[in-house]
């Protein structure tokens, strides 16, 4: 199946362009924010040649297609008028729970970041 046919098949099986809020990609996955998850047909996606697997994580519907994701993504967004972005400029839209977790991680990392150099230096001196 060529990139254009695969991208059309994926788009149809996630519920069509009207069901997609946004789509972007990473190294191997197309990552969708869907309006209605129930419209996506995970079973048919898994049967589609060219799709490795389908993952639902962090409010995203992810279709794993492998290293050829870039051309498939480009074919998919041609003609789509949705809020799509590339992987380098995607801002994560988080629910309240994820925002709280993100803030907690930010606080913890900001506390320990200044100490990392000192800890590494102390470890070197100990040996």
Contact 29, 63 (CB under 8 A): yes
Taking alpha carbons only, the member of 7, 2, 39, 38 closest to residue 23 is 7
pLDDT the model gives residue 95: 53
| CATH superfamily assigned to domain 3-93 | Glucose permease domain IIB (3.30.1360.60)
pLDDT the model gives residue 81: 58
pLDDT the model gives residue 104: 76
Contact 72, 31 (CB under 8 A): no
Structure tokens at 127: 């040996």
pLDDT the model gives residue 41: 93
Q: At what angle do helices 69-77 and 3-13 cross, to 10 degrees?
A: 70
**Mean pLDDT throughout 118-127?**
76
Q: Rounded to the nearest 5°, which phi and psi values hold at 55?
A: -130, 135
pLDDT the model gives residue 97: 57
Q: Rounded to the nearest 5°, which phi and psi values hold at 92?
A: -75, 125
Local structure of residue 93 (DSSP, 8 states): -
> pLDDT digit string (tens) for 5-45?
999 999 999 999 899 988 988 888 999 999 999 999 999 99
Domain boundaries, the chain: 3-93, 94-127
> pLDDT digit string (tens) for 75-120?
888 857 554 444 443 444 445 556 777 777 777 777 777 777 777 8
Question: Which value, in Å, is the radius of gyration of the alpha carbons in the chain?
Answer: 19
């Amino acid at each position: 199946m060529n990139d254009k046919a695969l991208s059309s098949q994926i788009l149809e099986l996630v519920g069509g362009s009207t069901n997609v809020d946004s789509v972007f990609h990473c190294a191997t996955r197309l990552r969708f924010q869907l309006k209605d998850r129930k419209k996506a047909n995970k079973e048919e996606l898994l049967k589609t040649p060219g799709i490795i697997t389908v993952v639902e994580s962090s409010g995203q519907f992810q279709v794993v297609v492998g290293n050829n994701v870039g051309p498939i993504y480009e074919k998919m967004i041609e003609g789509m008028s949705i809020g799509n972005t590339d992987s380098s400029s995607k801002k994560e839209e988080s629910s309240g729970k994820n925002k709280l977790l993100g803030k907690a991680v930010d606080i913890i990392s900001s506390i320990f970041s200044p100490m990392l150099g000192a800890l590494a230096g102390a470890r070197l001196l100990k040996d």
